[in-house]
Amino acid sequence: AQSVAQPEDQVNVAEGNPLTVKCTYSVSGNPYLFWYVQYPNRGLQFLLKYITGDNLVKGSYGFEAEFNKSQTSFHLKKPSALVSDSALYFCAVRDRRGNNRLAFGKGNQVVVIP
């Protein structure tokens, strides 16, 4: 079964500094990888995904993520964080050979300090 680990509970970063949210995954086959963001009292919003091809994928709101097969990682990054980026971020994985189930990590609370 697929699983995701997001090792940190909370990520604090000063506004304007680079933001990184870590994610590692485990699947039996090759993965489809996703990042979602959840703002208070709202549903999940899709940020970006890795399906195939270039290991660096770019998404919404200036976010990007790098797929690293050898390290089974898919870390989310943003070069310059904004206060409005403060939210809960979820990494998710789907096994290509699986049953369309999407497994989520526990989530990381990102706090951008003005």
Binding residues (CB under 8 A) for another protein: these are 32, 34, 36, 42-46, 49, 51, 90, 94, 96, 98, 100-107
Min dist CB 16 to another protein, Å, is 28
The answer to whether the CB of 64 falls within 8 A of the CB of 74 is: no
Min dist CB 106 to another protein, Å, is 4
Q: How far is CA 77 from CA 10, 26, 35, 61, 106, in A?
A: 15, 20, 11, 11, 18
Closer to another protein at the Cβ: 34 or 74? 34
Closer to another protein at the Cβ: 69 or 106? 106
Closer to another protein at the Cβ: 5 or 15? 5
The answer to whether the CB of 2 falls within 8 A of the CB of 98 is: yes
Phi first, then psi: what are they for 36, rounded to 5°? -125, 155
Phi first, then psi: what are they for 25, rounded to 5°? -135, 165
Min dist CB 100 to another protein, Å, is 5
